[in-house]
Amino acid sequence: MKMLFVKLQTGINNFPLGCDKRHRRASNHFSTINVIEPMDRLKRLFLFIAIFELIPICTYSQNAERSDSVHYFTLEQCIRYALQNQPALNQSMLNIDVAKTTNAINLSGWLPQINLSGNLIHYYQLPTTLTPNPVAPGGPPIPTRTGIANTAIPGLSASQTIFEPQLLYAAKSAPLLTKHAEQITDSVRIFIVSSVSKSFYNLLLTLEEIDVLKEDTARLGRNILDAYNQFVGGIVDETDYEQAVITLNNSKAQLKQQTESVAPEYAALKQLIGCPPEQNFNVMFDTVQMMQEIYSDTTKQLQYENRIEYQQLQTVKELQHQQTVFAELSFLPTVSVFYDYVYEYESPTSSNLFRTAYPYSYFGVTLNFPIFTGFARIENIQRSKLQEQIVNWGEVILKSQIYTEYRSALANYKSNLYNLHLLDDNKSRAQNVYNIVSLQYNQGVVAYLNLLVAESNLITAEIGYIDALFKLLSSKIDLEKAMGEIPSHY
């Protein structure tokens, strides 16, 4: 198990992240060493030894870095944390509740609708009605004041929809709308799992490269001492020593660059999992388990139904079909029943208005049957069917995109796996060559140039192997995503 500890310092001597292993490798960082001007050899030797002894050595102890206030996250724990705290995912989950609430609003029309209303009327002048003249039939009608000056009419009305195309469409589409919102949330979850995994691997890649560069810097420091001792002994000239210093400075520059890149990668991981900026955590992983997880079954056949995008499109197709059905049902009438109860008060004077009531009630059936709407319903049906065809063509396009993504991910995975095995062999051979050449150089058999070449090949092989390993892990994530095998729930 490897643990990577969060430290918020930067610089050569203070890493943002350190690491421990079961067998911790030496980790030394050397200050810049300038070429010493010609002087007495003995003085230069003492000066170099003094500088070498003052070189800061950066080591990280697992026990020293442990803190009860800092959490240790594996990749799986990072994913679980993200699925609970990622803001975008929480927003998407709220959209599910919004969809369910919207469905409840749309379906509320099926329930009885009850209203309480009231009117209070006072006539300053009563309305006039023309009545026949009983004295002179056929003569001019007699204007007569009718009604009563004060009226209060509270009423209770209730209605129940029996059938309405809009409500039937709402009932059919409600589960589909909820399903679509849930699928969007699953899509966000899959994206988070994929992104967090890749970000986690990118951070580990940088930290592993730092480990390699720390070892390289330590080896180069020892090479400087060997080169200087041989120079003092007259075995080699001063150029070997200067080449060693140049190589060390180059290695320190690479180490500094990788060290500085850890902080933004760590910040990116925190952002993806929804971790607050002020909160820190350590990451840890098991290298043995990681090596066991690099393999994937490349003989599996692509199943479009496993992709969340394809599932979303099928839901959209069903929703569009329901829209066509609704357009066809618009030719049917709307039927509802109603009941009204009125408690009417009447009085010629305001003071006696509520003394006597004249209640009455009634019920009935409402039928609304649109005969002609300017061909709007026919055009709505045609438009909905055309939109169904658009969705069908979208399915063809999506399948093509999924297949292309799958073939690309499969090819990358296979090439990265093959590359990993080759670079693993190169790393072993480069280490063996360096050990032999280093021994030969110490015995004065080969020139320092041979040692530099062996050192360069070793660092290239080690970093190349690490880079290939994490590229393989990332490409495996891409392959699983392309095949729809990344779970949306952990």
The rounded mean pLDDT for the chain is 83
Alpha-carbon torsion (242, 243, 247, 250), positive or negative:
positive
Burial annotation 231-254 (CB, 10 A radius, 16+ → b, else e): beeeebeeebbebbbebbeebbeb
All structural domains of the chain: 2-102+171-318+381-482 (1.20.1600.10), 112-163+334-368 (2.20.200)
pLDDT tens digit string along 139-151?
788 888 888 889 9
In angstroms, how far is the first alpha carbon of the chain from the final one? 22
Tell me, rounded to whole angstroms, the distance of Cα 212 from its chain centroid. 32
Spatial separation of the C-alpha atoms in residues 300 and 480, rounded to whole Å: 11
pLDDT at 349 over 70: yes
Query: What is the spatial distance between Cα 484 and Cα 187, in angstroms, rounded to a whole number?
Result: 10
DSSP states along 254-265: HHHHHHHHHHHH
Three-state SS at 28: coil
CB 477 within 8 A of CB 198: yes
Of the ranges 27-31, 113-117, 249-253, 255-259, which one carries the lowest mean pLDDT score? Answer: 27-31
Q: Tell me the pLDDT band of 443, cut-offs 50, 70 and 90.
A: confident
The residue among 370, 282, 366, 297 whose CA lies nearest residue 74 is 282
pLDDT value of residue 383: 96
Residues in Cβ contact with 473 at an 8 Å cutoff, skipping those fewer than 6 apart: 197, 201, 290, 293, 294
**CA-based diameter of the chain, in Å?**
153
Across the beta sheet with 17-20, the strand order is 17-20, 2-6, 281-285, 71-73
Across-strand partners of 334?
368
Closest CA to 4 of 207, 198, 196, 202: 207
Q: Which residue has tokens 């979850």?
A: 189
Give the model confidence (pLDDT) of 373-386 as tens digits: 899 999 999 999 99
Phi then psi dihedrals of residue 304, to 5 deg: -60, -30
Lowest mean pLDDT among 9-23, 66-80, 228-242: 9-23
Q: Using one digit for the tens of pLDDT, what is the confidence trace for 289-317?
A: 888 889 999 999 999 999 999 999 999 99
Alpha-carbon span 85 to 275, nearest angstrom: 7
Burial class (CB in 10 A: 0-12, 13-18, 19+), 289: exposed
Q: Within 13 A of 376's CA, how many CA atoms are on the CB side? A: 6
Burial bucket for residue 463 (CB in 10 Å: 0-12, 13-18, 19+): buried
Distinct helix (H) and strand (E) counts, the chain: 10, 10
The answer for residues whose C-beta is within 8 angstroms of residue 11's C-beta and 6 or more apart is 256, 259
The C-alpha angle 67, 272, 478, rounded to 5 degrees, equals 120
The alpha carbon of residue 16 and the mean position of all alpha carbons in its chain are separated, in whole angstroms, by 25
Say whether pLDDT at 31 is over 60: no
Specify the DSSP class assigned to residue 490. -
Q: What is the value of pTM for the model shown?
A: 0.79
Other C-beta atoms within 10 Å of 214: how many? 23
Position 18 scores a pLDDT of: 35
